[in-house]
Structure 1
């Protein structure tokens, strides 16, 4: 019979073997095309096999104290948006130089307010079909909210087993936008495994969700509330809708008479608004076709003549121009070689894959959050206050539904002497939830207020007041 010491030794050897396998299959990236000199941080890329999927990741070790700083899993929304979006436009220590592009491989520069200053971040292309992640079988391309959450959890578990030096660190799960659905379920999977005493135990400390989709009905209702609060619709339209529709605005049909007529007026008032950031242009002029498809497709796919040199035509600028260089960079053969991308696995990299074989099988994860609220976790939820895609009013509503105790009421939070947003804190027997709005930001907030969002993250992760 194996002794306890023997079991421990066996597990240690297994971890070391797994780690050796992982290192041999990973790529340690010292330089990148478009970046001058060696990278000033440690970057590893690679794949983790999960069922039929090969999930691609970028891992950046903390630039602070990697032996003590927490580690965070991060993936983007969509579903289908690459984690590279988070790395280059939101949380990471790199940024494109969008003002001096003259062709060829786009130039990158170090960004000093990346979240990796104070945490190691594991960026994963999830679900399968996102970024450089791919399936080994035809059946494996089909996924859903529940399957994606399960595969992302397995990815995280496998990666940590393959990198045992990070198992002891505090772990956070981070996601934004639509991945608020699967990200919430990933957290629950970790809790369930820990309570079942699975080995190794993941040292989950909490989770961080930016502009998260949590409940479909609350989110749809909040758009009408937000439109009225911000002045996009009149009092008359709003109060007519509120009375005629009984405060419920999802799945309205023509059979609802006065409610339907009021809803049509609301749609007329808001149809040309940029839902990601209401103060920015929609750039409909840049698309060859004005249709519903425009709402689902990125501007870059049909408008490259406008976006290769945006500073030269500032009157035609729109936010999506910032994404254009990522297509050129990530599809460059030299870039893919440097990243260790397996040849032939992804024919054409796109920032957000709109052709996923994906089933939306979860409309609400509010019950997950209610369940998690007695697990002693540390939670950060944040929204841009100009986001019409997932309005802050909806996020505040589902948090209220959780019936937590307010411990620090609504107040300003400050960066460099200026108001960066507003915050409120809740508690429930050791469960601590901080909600923060980001002033002037859209969807996702880091893309609009990158420095302020780093300050928010840094204070939260180090237990300072936001």
Structure 2
């Protein structure tokens, strides 16, 4: 092991930019976990500087798996996943004010069982930046290339984690990126790239996978949860022949029926169908278009609306605190953010879409390729979201034609049904799929206890 570490270090010529963070504004006392932040340069001449948060496992860092976490979007910060989904601290809303957010520990953090790197990717996300304007032009394929390069360099700088089981993970739009990174790692290992990564598989939540089928499933899901009537669904299905995405504009019956479907769903919070929809969100979403409005909000609108509309409570109001906190200069100093590299931290930077090329519309074939590898996959869906309905996710999983190892059945947390799961296999490949009962987009934000139980059992190779 020592010889291996020496060889890796001897081969590396990577500028180290990392800092240990022991305290944070808004958190009382020293942090009870190990937090590291830093930048790693990727691309030609390291012109893209990717920022990351690394948190060691609170259990056994040297033995527990290493997860690379990519928040969706594209353009949503790793800090969003850390604060609102799976990280060890979040906001104490009861003791926070608009101008002074306070932090508290998250008892259901995934760092209870894993080491996690939260990466601000692609460039322009969170605190990641580029040294040239041209380097802000990016794409799905370039994000994959840069994430792979980042991970290789990070492991060279952290050789003590080279042998830890590695899982690539993320949610929402990251479903288009994660399986390709996993394929890249397997291919890189086969090609002899150093360091050799101990890749074991991937974890995906509420993943966008097939832009056509995932969005096409929204109409079926809306009917299944009684957002549209039986009569409207059957008429729409018949007139549109089950195709709600590539609609012939001359098919007036289909076009008009889809307008009725959108009228029935436009007042629904697509991220969680039983939670209130906030008036501060814009633009008005279309059920049959891919948009990130569920993850985006205008912080100015939130600041203006929050004191005027104390009721009903809307989840998006929670996101205001991240803008105030992450843009505080004392916070940025504590996180060791390089001065002058960004003008404003945004939870989800929608301006990335102007310089982003969407190379892929369907990544099912990458999942299919991985079924021939010694690989484990965990895929989960909140069953109360309509952004990426579980119906569409089940459809592409079924298209992999895997062998059923464990039939569809409920799983439990503290004696209550936490969701429904099945396990599928192909020789050395194992895929566990589960719904999270009551979960939204994305599930850990809505059901943190259940999602931690899911991950910890799966990582330990236990049944859910």
Superposition TM-score tier, normalisation by shorter sequence: over 0.9
CA contact (8 A) 1:176 1:210 kept: yes
Q: 89, 93, 98: which one pairs with 1:98? A: 93
Instruction: Provide the secondary structure at the position in 1 that maps to 2:250.
Output: helix
Deviations 1:283-337 (A, max 9, x none): 12x3698688994741533131333698xx2x23111011110000000000000
CA distance in 2, matches of 1:166, 1:185: 22
Tell me: CA distance 1:345–1:308, structure 2 relative to 1, closer, same or farther (3 Å): farther
CA distance in 2, matches of 1:85, 1:418: 29
Aligned residue in 2 for 1:3:
none
Tell me: CA distance 1:244–1:309, structure 2 relative to 1, closer, same or farther (3 Å): closer
Aligned residue in 2 for 1:460:
458
User: Where in structure 2 are the equivalents of 1:412-451 lying within 5 Å?
Assistant: 412-451=410-449
Aligned residue in 2 for 1:358:
356
Aligned residue in 1 for 2:62:
67
CA RMSD of aligned residues (A): 2.0
The Cα of 1:421 is off from its aligned counterpart by 0.7
Q: Which moved more, 1:8-17 or 1:371-380?
A: 8-17
Q: 188, 194, 202: which one pairs with 2:183? A: 188
Aligned residue in 1 for 2:274:
279
Q: 53, 56, 60: which one pairs with 2:48? A: 53
The Cα of 1:9 is off from its aligned counterpart by 8.7
**Corresponding pairs, count:** 452
Aligned residue in 1 for 2:386:
388
Tell me: CA distance 1:243–1:203, structure 2 relative to 1, closer, same or farther (3 Å): same
Q: TM (normalized to structure 1)?
A: 0.93
CA contact (8 A) 2:175 2:208 kept: yes
CA contact (8 A) 1:299 1:320 kept: no
CA distance in 1, matches of 2:116, 2:312: 35
CA contact (8 A) 1:300 1:320 kept: no
The Cα of 1:17 is off from its aligned counterpart by 6.7
CA distance in 1, matches of 2:11, 2:315: 45
Stretches of structure 1 lacking an aligned partner (at least 5 in a row): 1-6
The Cα of 1:214 is off from its aligned counterpart by 0.3
CA contact (8 A) 1:29 1:42 kept: yes
Tell me: CA distance 1:302–1:429, structure 2 relative to 1, closer, same or farther (3 Å): same
Instruction: Provide the secondary structure at the position in 2 that maps to 1:406.
Output: strand
Tell me: CA distance 1:94–1:13, structure 2 relative to 1, closer, same or farther (3 Å): closer
Instruction: Provide the secondary structure at the position in 2 that maps to 1:316.
Output: coil
Tell me, yes or no, if structure 1 residue 128 matches structure 2 residue 126.
Answer: no
Instruction: Provide the secondary structure at the position in 1 that maps to 2:305.
Output: helix
CA distance in 1, matches of 2:351, 2:13: 38
Aligned residue in 1 for 2:317:
321
The Cα of 1:251 is off from its aligned counterpart by 2.5
CA distance in 2, matches of 1:205, 1:179: 18
CA distance in 2, matches of 1:342, 1:87: 20
The Cα of 1:252 is off from its aligned counterpart by 1.7
CA contact (8 A) 1:101 1:309 kept: no
Q: 38, 53, 56: which one pairs with 2:30? A: 38
Aligned residue in 2 for 1:4:
none
